[in-house]
């Protein structure tokens, strides 16, 4: 039997100005900045991690702010939307909150029986809020600007556009442990472990659509949860056996990573649940200072000089 992923670990996207990004996700959306670090492959750029109070796997949306990059081009081979889970009955709160902060939202729609509020962030990233009763690991942020009963519970699903469905579907169902759950308006939904919130991917085949391109307001990669490096290496072997080209395991300090492009071109990651974001700073003070992995610490002075200053938004319930 093949190993299986256990749902979404995190989603990483590309932002424009980092202060605008921080103001929106920590201020408007009420997520906690659980780690302020740098892109380990380009350390002159921030890597900002937003999540629940504890940085629970599955609640984490992260950003590389590259304001000099052009806008993303929507197209096949990319994740095209980041839907968050919110508690049932909270969409009215969010509609009012977003309107007060001049965020333009689309009309509420129904997808797979769920109420969904689509909108975009200041740099063009497509987001949605999805009402759900599903239980999932979540630690409320008591000091956040959004009441705990309305806070984002993490990624509900990810949505991909593909030129062709078959090879991506085969990877999902034959290697990664997903099962087909249903189809609606051209979208096919797949889930692992019952397909509850945080364990879903939705794929739409668009054979005549152009190829997507990374840029500001676009998703860079989707990371899937594995419990430990044993599961990670078993899945890596299975991915190799179907002709894909996963990287070696890469130490990201807060988790271990393996990257590969699925057959349609979307960059996937297998990320371990641990050690977690409290490994190198007190859980009560996550995200308050620039944290570097140990191998970059000797370069701190130069890295700090290259980064623009960032200020956490003031509480504004």
Residues 6+ apart with CB under 8 A from 280: 253, 254, 291
B/e letters for 172-196, b = 16+ CB within 10 Å, e = fewer, are beebbbbeeeeeeeebbbbbbeebb
- Longest CA–CA separation in the chain, Å: 53
pLDDT beyond 90 at 41: yes
Give me Rg for the CA atoms of the chain.
18
pLDDT (tens digit per residue) in 163-192? 999 999 999 999 999 999 999 999 999 999
- What pLDDT is stored for residue 297 in this prediction? 97
The fraction of the chain above a pLDDT of 90, given in percent, is 98
pTM: 0.97
Contact (CB, 8 A) for 83 and 31: no
What mean pLDDT is predicted for residues 115-131? 98
- In the predicted structure, residue 76 carries a pLDDT above the cut 50: yes
**Mean per-residue pLDDT of the chain:** 96
CA quadruple 41, 139, 132, 72: dihedral, nearest 10: -20
Task: Indicate the length of the chain as a whole number.
Answer: 317
Q: What pLDDT, on the 0 to 100 scale, is given for residue 3?
A: 79
* Measured distance CA(231)–CA(8) in Å, rounded: 15
Whole-number pLDDT of residue 316: 57
Q: Nearest CA to 315 among 27, 9, 18, 24?
A: 27
pLDDT band at 1 (very low <50, low <70, confident <90, very high): very low
139-166, pLDDT tens digit by residue? 999 999 999 999 999 999 999 999 999 9
How many CB atoms lie under 10 A from the CB of residue 143? 9
Phi and psi torsions of 92, nearest 5°: -60, -40
What is the share, in percent, of the chain residues with pLDDT greater than 70? 98
pLDDT score for 178: 98
- Tens of pLDDT, residue by residue over 202-212, are 999 999 999 99
Written out in words, the top-level CATH class of the domain with range 8-306 is alpha beta
pLDDT of amino acid 315:
67
Torsion angles phi and psi, residue 173, rounded to 5: -90, -30
Mean pLDDT of the region 248-264: 97
């Amino acid at each position: 039997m093949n190993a299986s992923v256990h749902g979404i670990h995190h989603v990483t996207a590309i932002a424009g100005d980092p202060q605008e990004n921080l103001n929106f996700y920590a201020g408007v959306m009420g997520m906690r900045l659980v780690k302020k670090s740098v892109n380990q492959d380009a350390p002159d750029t921030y890597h900002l991690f937003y999540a629940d109070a504890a940085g629970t796997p599955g609640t984490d949306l992260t950003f590389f702010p590259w304001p000099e990059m052009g806008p993303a081009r929507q197209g096949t081979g990319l994740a095209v939307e980041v839907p968050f889970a919110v508690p049932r009955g909270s969409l009215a709160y969010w509609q009012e909150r977003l309107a007060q902060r001049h965020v333009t939202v689309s009309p509420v729609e129904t997808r797979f029986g769920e109420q969904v509020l689509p909108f975009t962030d200041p740099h063009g990233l497509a987001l949605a809020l999805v009402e759900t009763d599903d239980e999932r690991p979540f630690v409320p942020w008591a000091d956040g600007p959004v009441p705990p009963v309305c806070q984002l519970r993490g990624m509900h699903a990810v949505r991909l556009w593909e030129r062709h469905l078959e090879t991506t579907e085969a990877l999902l169902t034959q290697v990664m442990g997903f099962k087909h759950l249903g189809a609606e308006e051209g979208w096919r939904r797949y889930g692992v472990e019952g397909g509850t919130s945080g364990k879903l991917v939705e794929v739409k085949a668009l054979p005549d659509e152009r190829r997507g391109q990374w840029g500001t307001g676009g998703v860079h990669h989707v990371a899937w949860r594995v419990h430990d490096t044993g599961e990670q290496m078993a899945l890596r072997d299975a991915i190799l056996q179907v002709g894909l080209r996963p990287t070696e395991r890469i130490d990201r300090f807060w988790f271990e990573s393996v990257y590969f492009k699925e057959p349609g071109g979307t960059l996937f990651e297998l990320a371990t649940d641990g050690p977690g974001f409290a490994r190198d700073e007190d859980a009560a003070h996550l995200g308050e200072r620039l944290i570097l992995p140990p191998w970059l610490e000797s370069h701190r002075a130069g890295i700090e000089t290259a980064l623009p200053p960032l200020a956490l938004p003031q509480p504004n319930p």
